[in-house]
Amino acid sequence: MQKLTQAQREQWAIDGYIRVEQALSQEQVAFFDVELDRIRQLPGWEPNPDGPLGHYAWLDHAVDRDPEGFMDRRVLLHYA
């Protein structure tokens, strides 16, 4: 198993994600591709085009009132 490089750790700290090449087999990619297409056909999956900017609905159950849990971590980002 490979470890993250320093550049990958920095990218994770800035963006909150990293791109990992060849993490899934071709069969796994094909499986998830079919599943995502299937799920996107279910009613309510896609955002409402009449909503603000066509975004997904607000999830009240996901509200995090602890500032340490906020996605916008200015101490980690260049505009802090």
pLDDT digit string, tens, across residues 23-37: 899 999 999 999 988
Q: 57 — alpha (psi -120 to 50), left (phi > 0) or beta? A: beta
The pTM (predicted TM-score) of the whole model is 0.44
pLDDT of residue 70: 60
| Average pLDDT score over residue span 3-7 | 89
Residue 61's identity, in one-letter code, is H
pLDDT higher than 60, residue 12: yes
Tell me which H or E stretch contains 30.
helix 26-40
Q: What pLDDT digit, counting tens, does each position of 40-50 carry?
A: 888 776 666 66
| Mean residue pLDDT across the chain | 75
Q: What is the mean pLDDT of residues 52-58?
A: 57
Residue 51 has pLDDT above 90, yes or no: no
